[in-house]
Structure 1
Amino acid sequence: MRICLSTLLGAVMAAGLLAPTAAYADGDAVKGAKIFRKCAACHSVDEAKNKVGPHLVDIVDRPVASVEGYKYSPAMVEHATEVPAWDVEALDAYLRNPKGVVKKTKMAFAGLKKDDDVADVIAYLKDPSAAE
């Protein structure tokens, strides 16, 4: 039986065996916008236009691998069958370790290591206008 790390993490959290991280609480969208600059070469958050990576407009709770016109890796398409949407928990896991969550993802970014950075980027992705 094949178990995805993000599926296992979701089950552990649902069972109440693991407390949510700071990313599920309050992040700072202004700080998140600054951290997102690392991502901006490949992703857009304010315009539904794909770059090297898919746009991230309305990413929170959007179905995984669903942006029209973007050619996802087979690994990301497979991930979409295991994790149907980019909810906060899925974003948290992926932003921390993209290749750990989706082994053969095209994304070259190593991930964010600080809890606050993850929380701040997620806050920014939820509402980019909050950083203005």
Structure 2
Amino acid sequence: MKAMFTVASSPLFASLIAASALLVGATFSHADAMLSAQGKVLFAHNCHACHSEDSARNTFGPSLSGVVGRKAASVPRFAYSDAMKASGLVWSEDNLRMWIADNVKLVPGTRMRHVAISDKAEQDYILAYLKTL
């Protein structure tokens, strides 16, 4: 069964909100908050089953608190794959985007399995949310 999103969760709606914020003189932080709110919804649907937002708690996957800018395979008390440990990655926005789109392509041999998110707008939403953690 395919998940259905409301008009409020569409990429077009988010673009209109961001453009409206600029036209009425609102700060970027308001537009960023809107993107982040949508990212939280996508995170809940795609990531939360395996990842915690709590820095003190790993689940099936490592905590994603503070992930943006963090060295890959560096969360304490998590058993990373040898491939991830050897990757040398830092979780920049570009690397996170590539990971979200196709993690196995970015790090062959990773143990993580997930449904790839190839839609750039949805990636933007998730990245906006990850920046808040």
TM-score (norm 2): 0.71
Structure 1 segments, 4+ long, off by >6 Å, are none
* Pairwise CA distance, 1:113: 1.3
Q: Which has the higher contact order (CA 8 A, sep 6+)?
A: 1
Q: Deviations over 1:58-100 (max 9, x none)?
A: 00001111000100000101112xx2x1011110111110111
Alignment of 1:39-118 (within 5 A): 39-80=47-88, 83=89, 85-118=90-123
TM-score (norm 1): 0.71
Q: 1:10 is matched with which residue?
A: none
* Pairwise CA distance, 1:46: 3.5
* Identity score, percent: 32
Q: For structure 2, which runs of at least 5 residues remain unmatched after alignment?
A: 1-31
- Count of residue pairs brought into register by the alignment: 100
- Structure with more of its chain in helix, by fraction: 2
Computing the radius of gyration from Cα coordinates, the structure with the larger value is 2
Q: 2:10 is matched with which residue?
A: none
**Would the aligned equivalents of 1:48 and 1:56 in 2 still touch at CA under 8 Å?**
no
